[in-house]
Amino acid sequence: MMPQVCARCDKTTSTPVVVAIEHGASLGGRTLYACPGCAPTFPKQRDPFEQCLPDRPSRKTAS
């Protein structure tokens, strides 16, 4: 496998881990790599909890 630059720490790694694959018709697709140390810090693709977890309350607290 070709060495890739980690998308997190910008260091070249000889054992890149694919952390994201973006499919874009106009962009032609893009693959993000990370070194093994940084890979766990990336969110998984198609995370089933992504849309379930409340990010922030949409209602503001009245002050």
Number of Cβ within a 10 Å radius of residue 40:
10
Question: Is 20 a binder of Zn ion (CB under 5 A)?
Answer: no
| CA dihedral for 53, 59, 62, 63, sign (positive or negative) | positive
Q: Do the beta carbons of residue 16 and residue 6 sit within 8 Å?
A: yes
Residue from 5, 8, 17, 42 that binds Zn ion (CB under 5 A)? 8
**Of the ranges 8-16, 23-31, 47-55, which one interacts with Zn ion (CB under 5 A)?**
8-16
Single residue of 4, 16, 19, 38 touching Zn ion by CB under 5 A: 38
Residues at the site binding Zn ion, with contacts judged by CB under 5 A = 6, 8-9, 35, 38
